Amino acid sequence: MSSSTWLEAAMYKGYLFIKRGIVTMLSYRTALVLGIVGSFIGLLQFSFMGRFLTEGNSFPALNAYGGNLLAYLIIGTAFTSFVGVSLGSFQNTIRSEQQMGTLEYLLITNTKLELLLSYSGLVSFLGTLLNVTLLLLVVIFVFDIPMEVNLAGAAVCILLTITSLSGIGLMGAGIIMVTKVGDPVTWIFTTLTGLLSGVLFPVEYLPGALKAISMLLPTTHALHALRLTLTQNASIEQISSQLLFLLIASAITVPLGFFSIRAGFNKARRDGTLAHY
């Protein structure tokens, strides 16, 4: 084979691979759209953060949490770990079992789908809790960050956070069993959490309409309560309004989540796509 022929063949193969990638990407339209929108959301998020940081060395909006910027950012970052595992662990379990070809085998046993996901999710939650705890301990001692911790209050807050968001994660898992990729429910809540819940900057810096939306998110109330319990030794009574909001959110999202996962499972089984991914 001449060098020119080999080059033409190599270029043609490259063209075919690129074409395949484009066709695959376009076939998952939801994921494509969410990715594009996510890029714009990221720019918006950093613009709000920039507005917050231009205040200089004094941050009045952080006074409720002790005024320490590093503590504020570290707790916000740690909180996103719980958000991520709550929203994504069930989808990851389903995808992993599908890839290993074991999902159908597990489901023909006496183990219900809901229990299978709950058991797998529990392992992920415990792993995340251990990682976050170690991270906080190391950072607190290394950077000498002042913390006044109420462990009981923080534990209740984390538990209700995971419960309320797990219901949303179950909804996303139900959708992913049908669509296979591009779950809008989980994407929306993940995006809104990063942008509107005070992870990197206080919600006070949001425009009025966005601030109103942030107050409807369980993550906003959960993160506020968690920061108070970790920096101000806030009691359960002092964060009772936030805990009540999370409890109500859990009562709504968990039943909807189990309904969604069961509906998605039944549809995938009828369509014969249960093991597809």
Domain residue extents for the chain = 3-271
**84 by DSSP, 3-state: which?**
helix
Predicted confidence (pLDDT) at residue 220 exceeds the cutoff of 90 = yes
Q: What is the pLDDT of residue 191?
A: 85
Q: What is the pLDDT of residue 108?
A: 65
| Most confident residue range from 11-15, 67-71, 187-191, 244-248 | 244-248
Residue range 187-212, pLDDT digits in tens: 888 888 888 898 888 888 888 899 99
Give CA–CA dist 7/16, Å, rounded: 14
Using 50, 70 and 90 to split pLDDT, how confident is the model at 133? Answer: confident
Q: What is the pLDDT of residue 92?
A: 78
Q: What is the pLDDT of residue 228?
A: 94
Predicted confidence (pLDDT) at residue 177 exceeds the cutoff of 80 = no
Give CA–CA dist 24/43, Å, rounded: 27
Nearest residue to 129 via CA among 159, 172, 88, 153: 159
Q: Amino acid letter at 184?
A: P
| Most confident residue range from 43-52, 65-74, 193-202, 210-219 | 210-219
Q: What is the pLDDT of residue 126?
A: 80
Query: How much is the average pLDDT of 146-159?
Result: 89
Give CA–CA dist 218/56, Å, rounded: 30
Which of the two residues, 3 and 211, has the higher pLDDT score? Answer: 211
Q: What is the pLDDT of residue 127?
A: 78
Percentage of residues in the chain having pLDDT higher than 90: 22
Residue range 239-256, pLDDT digits in tens: 999 999 999 999 999 999
Query: How much is the average pLDDT of 208-231?
Result: 93
Nearest residue to 232 via CA among 144, 148, 151: 148
Predicted confidence (pLDDT) at residue 120 exceeds the cutoff of 90 = no
Residue range 260-277, pLDDT digits in tens: 888 887 887 777 766 565
Query: How much is the average pLDDT of 7-24?
Result: 61
Predicted confidence (pLDDT) at residue 51 exceeds the cutoff of 60 = no
Q: In the chain, what are the helix, strand and coil shares in percent, each to the nearest 5?
A: 80, 0, 20
